[in-house]
Structure 1
Amino acid sequence: MLKIEKLTKKFGGLAAVNDVSTVIEEGKINAIIGPNGAGKTTFFNLISSMHKPTSGTITFNGQDVTSLRPDQVAKLGIARTFQSTSLFDKATVLDNLIVGHRLRTHSGLWDVLRGSSRLREEERVCREKARDALDFVGLSPIAHRLAGDISQEERKRVAFALALATDPKLLLLDEPAGGVNPEETEGLAQLIRKFVQHGMTVALIEHKMAMIMSLADKILVLSYGEKIAEGTPDAIRRNPAVIDAYLGSEHAEV
């Protein structure tokens, strides 16, 4: 689905991502792990076109997307979440989600001024998509609560729903279980599996190794911006370079 070839991003003299090649496999859960500062979020920023690479190429479903704008990449079907979930706290959860499907609408200023039938129809579709996304992530009961009044775990689910409302093919999830307790983490892991069961592909960055080892089909390991290993969870947990750089010996038998 997504092919990364010799991807490099330099900030001054620092290579945050250095000559990384990999494939995000369709219909699977692909994990990216590594110590803090390994280049994981920069890697996601390159895929979603928030940063442009210094060199290398990114191909999505056969199309070179390396030089596209973020909105163009999103329209092709790549959606992402962030480590910190930023919402419009004074708006309802549902209203926060309506903006997600705006990516797929075509109404302009003239439609707004005229109150056109196209605008009304697109408003209806956006609300429908928002409600469907809320139902998918299990948050329909809090649709009309203010976003500023919901829990951290609920904010994570709203972020998932916002990405879902864009009609994605590939979901990039940056630390989706950050800041939530073990029971909530398991619930989010089940939701990530549900995405794949419904035809989406997932790539996620996460530090919770028990979650990753039970969830991922494939793991890419970065250290100081470079790929040091790639493979199944079983292969990664036994890889001496990964144990030395990140996991520690206690994970070798996880």
Structure 2
Amino acid sequence: MLRALNLTKMFGGLAAIKDVSVTFETGKINAIIGPNGAGKSTFFNLVAGAYKPTSGCIEIDGQDVTHLRCDLIARLGVGRTFQTTNLFDQSTVLDNLIVGHRLRTQSGLWDVLINSSRLQREERRCREKAREALDFVGLSHLENRVIADISQEERKRVAFALALATEPRLVLLDEPAGGVNPEETVGLAALIRKMVDHGLTVCLIEHKMDMIMSMADKIMVLNHGEKIAEGTPEEIKANPIVIEAYLGSDHDAAA
């Protein structure tokens, strides 16, 4: 599904990502871990097209997307959430999600001016897709609530739904469990598994190691922009380089 080859991103003289090569398989939960500043979010921004690499290439399903605009990459089926959940706080949950499927519509300014049948058809479709995504994440009962009035965990689920409304095949989740309690983390982990069960490929960044180790099929570890390890959770937990750089001796003892 996703392949990066010798990916490098320089900011001035600093290598945020340095010669990273990795493959993430279709229909799997793939995780990226590492200390703060390791380059995890930069890697996501490269895959999603928000940043262009200094060198190297990115392939989605065998197609080179290295120099495509982010909207074109999204049309190819890459959806994402962000570390900070930014939504339209004074709009309803449903209105926030209607925006997502507009990526798939064709109506232009003329359609808006004349209120064309195509515009009306596509607006209905956007609303249907928004409701489908909302039902998938378990928040149908909140469709008319204003975003400012819902909880942090519900905002996370709305962000998931917004990504799903774009009809993705690969979903990039940046710290999906950040800022929620352990019980809510379990619920979000179950939602991620549900996404994979419904045919999506997931790649996530997360600092909650219990969550990652219990659900990831494959983990890549970054440190100072470089890939220092990749493998199954069992392989990562036992890797002395990862323990020293990120997991720490306490995790080693617990393992």
For the aligned pair, the TM-score class normalised by the smaller chain equals over 0.9
The runs of 5 or more residues in structure 2 that have no matched partner are none
Q: Which runs of 4+ in 1 moved over 4 A?
A: none
| Alignment coverage as a number of residue pairs | 254
Distance 2:171 2:229 in 1: 22
Distance 1:94 1:103 in 2: 16
Cα shift at 1:251: 1.8
Q: Counterpart in 2 of 1:118?
A: 118
Distance 2:3 2:27 in 1: 14
Q: Map 1:148-187; keep pairs closer than 5 Å.
A: 148-187=148-187
Q: Give the 3-state SS of the residue equivalent to 1:53 in structure 2.
A: coil
Write out per-residue CA displacement over residues 145-193 of structure 1, whole angstroms, 9 at most, x where no aligned residue: 0001110000000000000000000000000000000000000000000
Q: Map 1:81-96; keep pairs closer than 5 Å.
A: 81-96=81-96
Q: Counterpart in 2 of 1:214?
A: 214
Distance 1:64 1:150 in 2: 40
Distance 2:28 2:81 in 1: 18
Write out per-residue CA displacement over residues 168-221 of structure 1, whole angstroms, 9 at most, x where no aligned residue: 000000000000000000000000000000000000000000000001000000
Asked if residue 102 in structure 1 is aligned to residue 95 in structure 2, the reply is no
Q: Counterpart in 2 of 1:15?
A: 15
Normalised by the length of structure 2, the TM-score is 0.99
Q: Give the 3-state SS of the residue equivalent to 2:73 in structure 1.
A: helix
Distance 1:243 1:70 in 2: 35
Write out per-residue CA displacement over residues 35-70 of structure 1, whole angstroms, 9 at most, x where no aligned residue: 000000000000000000000000111110000000
Q: Counterpart in 1 of 2:74?
A: 74
Distance 1:194 1:251 in 2: 28
Aligned residue identity for 2:187: G
Q: Give the 3-state SS of the residue equivalent to 1:248 in structure 2.
A: helix
Q: Map 1:23-34; keep pairs closer than 5 Å.
A: 23-34=23-34
Q: Give the 3-state SS of the residue equivalent to 1:102 in structure 2.
A: helix
Distance 2:162 2:177 in 1: 16
Q: Counterpart in 2 of 1:44?
A: 44
Cα shift at 1:249: 1.8
Percentage of pairs with the same residue: 72
- State the superposition RMSD in angstroms: 0.5
Cα shift at 1:250: 2.1
Distance 1:208 1:170 in 2: 21
